[in-house]
A and B are shown apart, each in its own frame.
Chain A
Amino acid sequence: MSTPGHVIQDSHAGGHGASVATYVRVALILTAVTALEVGVIYIRFLTPIIVPLLLTMATAKFVLVVMFFMHLRYDPRPLSALFVGPLIVAILLALALIALVGTLFALHG
């Protein structure tokens, strides 16, 4: 148990990872990437690579929010493990599910 003063210190340690300016910069980048995402779907010559391109941009936005707005960049490492570990397993499971249900459909079809 600590005094309120200690509590403030704890909260700062956990929450003061970035400045307001950094948050605004991240928001601007998110806006720009979103605009890019929407823009590229109308560019015909990008069609062959549109899916990986969109997924890359979505991943970049995801990472930016998690690292800066959710402070994972500044918080103790175990928190990253608690989130990134399940996230990776969830992605693998999702990919397996898509592949397996899709395969079954192909066999039936």
Chain B
Amino acid sequence: MAVHPAALRQHEHAAHAAGATGLWSWITTVDHKRIGILYGVSALVFFIVGGLEALIIRLQLARPHAGVVSAETFNALFTMHGTTMVFLAIMPFSAAFFNYMIPLMIGARDVAFPRLNALSYWIFLLGGLFLNASFLVGAPPDGGWFGYTSLTLRQFSPGLSIDFWVLGLQILGVSSVMAGVNFITTILNMRAPGLTLMRMPVFVWMSLVVQFLIVLAFPPITIGLIFLMFDRFFGTHFYDVAAGGDVVLWQHLFWIFGHPEVYILILPAFGIVSEVLPTFARKPLFGAPVVIYSGVLIGFFGFGVWAHHMFAAGMGPVADAVFSVGTMLIAIPTGVKIFNWLATMWGGSIRPTVAFHYAAGLVALFTLGGLSGVMHASPPVDLQQTDSYFVVAHFHYVLIGGSLFGLLCGAYYWWPKMTGRFLDERLGKLQFWILVIAFNLTFFPQHYLGAIGMPRRIYTYGPGRGWEFWNLMSTVGAFGIALSVLLFAINAVRSLRSGPVAPADPWDGRTLEWRTSSPPPVHNFDAIPPVYGRDSFWREKHGDSRGRKPAPLPPRPEPHGIHLPSGSFWPPVMALGMIITAAGALIALPVVIVGALIAVVAGWAFALEHHRNPAHVDQVGNLGVDHRKLAMWVFLGSECFFFGTMIATYLAYKGRSVVGPHPHEILNIPLTTISTFDLLMSSLLMVLALHAVQTGDRAKARLWLFGTALFGLIFLGFQAWEFTEFVHEGLTLQQNLFGSTFFVLTGFHGGHVALGVALLLTLWVLDLRGRLDVRDAVKVEVVGLYWHFVDVVWIIIFTVIYLIP
């Protein structure tokens, strides 16, 4: 399918345009399809690294008293295996499908923010390399993938290993949240006309749920990591029991993220299976709305069950009971999905392709993992199983039997769309069966090993415990899994070289991505596809259940032609600046400064790159609001979790300092009242500035924008003066728990104010240069939303820190 060249408008430097090849075109690409491929290839490389780590672990455990690696190396291997597989392999594999497929499935030309999408990728890639660079300097993280304190405090883990982990995960979190905001905006605001929410493919729905989980679950672990970083780098006391801190706080913050993370890993696979089964059963998905609601419920419940990972911490009977019930409840929507998939296959005209094999495999194997998960919901049972190989077996059934099978299912299903060539079905089926056998050989015996008492994370064991045979079998199985992955790689390479050419719709698909060529053109669709209902493309081809085809809809008019975003080299530069900053934290302060400067300059260039591009002016989408405004509201939801977690920690630790000064001895309420008034009034100036920009009153716009920034600077001045006074009076970050919580909470708020001031001054300078007018009102509005949010956060901080006795 070709589009008329005149209709294809692109910016200058459109490096990803049709025909553009070469390394530079990939580095500067902002095309969602190319970024999807980059995610997929990167994830595959990290998956192989994580897999090799797993093989060494299994070699070490194959027999008693094996000496393949030392205990220290073993610790590093299982830590990096878990971290790599979760953050660098499974998540980015899912991201590959989000990137490639979501715009195609909703009939869009790209994501809402293509350059932000590229930035997310580059931060992910460089963050992953940063994490793995720890091996090169002989300091790989070794505190387990959930990094429990006190083990990860400086006292017990000196050296750089945990520093790599703490900084690396924060970097990866930034990437994930950016991508999450981007995809929520894309899905909510860029659907083709007629594609209502309930008509969306289930994969898109599950992706939407996952993006919400990402933007809401990452802030708590980010806070936990920030506390850990401050404890390690600056000597604060968040996890210092002697100073009144609580190591279990880390467990809560980690698992508030960690349990939703399980759904972040598994829901994309559920979405893929929900697309593949109807296609190859040639039936609509049974009870599709219920499958969607179940996914939403799983996501919602996912936030209320985190502490079932902590039954052994001794939370008490009430907390145990609440989290136990919540965990059992979450099995209901999950079970609903299983039955809906079975009902979809039932009576269908099954075409047993490799993709179908993997979908069916997921239904069977994930159910096994789910059942052992329900067992952990019972605290007395969990106490027996926790930290044993039973748990290892359970989560590998979920993450391999569920996530990986789902992702392989998606790989076989969408490969022809992405490459224009078929994978070899025969080789694929061989690979599937080897994986099924090897996977079960590896992990099913681990249930038994755990049940007879083998703890997880031991680097060796003595003979005579009955563990030898099943450990050996487990190791044999692990090499079988490796063989299966190798066969997939061979299949992929053969397909790319000489695979049969795939048509646009090789599987007789049901959704919009099959309506364009394989691979799709750079602009995805020559005309935005019409949507006739759920499974729109199927209805278009075959009609509804009675065979009635819909009357063709006229193509959506695009009077200004097709706009494609141009390539940009600022995303990789900005990501590089961030990584240099992180590396500098391990090397020397000047490196931090250099990295931060690069990131800030690149960030500015990134932000202003298309400031005057008329194609970027109108970004109003399905919800009737501008993409940028929608994205800011999503981001503010994420910020609610960020500051909520920080304020909760302050309150949980209130009154627990073992030495003074205490808050009532030092806080200056009259002074802070004045700074609070100043910040509130800055919000008034902000709305006046927006009003002036919207009405084209440039003189007032300049005045109010500058006034808002000035009031922000005055607030920061008050804060700097207050901090200085406190330090003179003996309250520092390190003095006591109050000092740690106070300075970090108010300091991060001050950092947000400083960023807001920078944004305001940028707008003001643009206005002075005549580059801010009524067309830019939405930019002022978006900065204003951020500014007002910073204000409302201060309203809460002022009350809980200064006013409540």
Contacts and interface: CB of A to CB of B under 8 A. Distances in A.
Interface string A47-78: 00011001101100110011011110001101
B618 A7 contact: yes
B630 A1 contact: no
Size class of the B contact interface (CB-based, 8 Å): 35 or more
Contacts of A69: 683-684, 686-687, 784, 788, 791
A98 B253 CA distance: 12
B683 A27 contact: yes
A7 B803 CA distance: 44
B623 A91 contact: no
Contacts of A54: 799, 803-804
B618 A93 contact: no
A50 B604 CA distance: 46
Contacts of B791: 65, 69
A24 B316 contact: no
B645 A93 contact: yes
A20 interface: yes
Label chain A's interface by main secondary structure.
Answer: helix
B803 A41 contact: yes
B633 A4 contact: no
A43 interface: no
Contacts of B617: 4, 7
A54 B624 CA distance: 37
Contact of B630 (A16, A61, A79): A79
B625 A75 contact: yes
A41 B670 CA distance: 12
A75 B785 CA distance: 12
B560 A1 contact: yes
Interface string B671-697: 001001100110110111011001000
Given A7-B775, A11-B694, A86-B638, A66 B792 contact: yes
Size class of the A contact interface (CB-based, 8 Å): 35 or more
Given A41-B805, A51-B804, A69-B687, A79 B618 contact: no
B636 interface: yes
A94 B620 contact: no
A14 B626 contact: yes
B292 interface: no
Contacts of B246: 101, 104-105, 108
Contact of A94 (B645, B785, B792): B645
Nearest to A40: B803
A23 B799 contact: no
Nearest to A30: B680
B644 interface: yes
10 contacts: A15-B694, A37-B798, A38-B669, A38-B803, A58-B796, A58-B798, A65-B791, A76-B624, A79-B629, A94-B648
Interface of A: 1-2, 4, 6-8, 10-16, 20, 23-24, 26-27, 30-31, 34, 37-38, 41, 50-51, 54-55, 57-58, 61-62, 65-66, 68-71, 75-76, 78-79, 82-83, 85-87, 89-91, 93-95, 97-98, 100-105, 107-108
Interface of B: 188, 216, 220, 246, 248-249, 252, 256, 303, 307, 313-316, 319, 558-560, 563, 615, 617-618, 620, 623-626, 629-630, 633-634, 636-638, 640-641, 644-645, 647-649, 651-653, 656, 669-670, 673, 676-677, 680-681, 683-684, 686-688, 690-691, 694, 774-775, 777-778, 781, 784-785, 788-789, 791-792, 795-796, 798-799, 803-805
The 8 A-B pairs of least Cβ separation, nearest first, read A86-B637, A94-B648, A90-B644, A58-B799, A101-B652, A27-B684, A11-B777, A1-B560
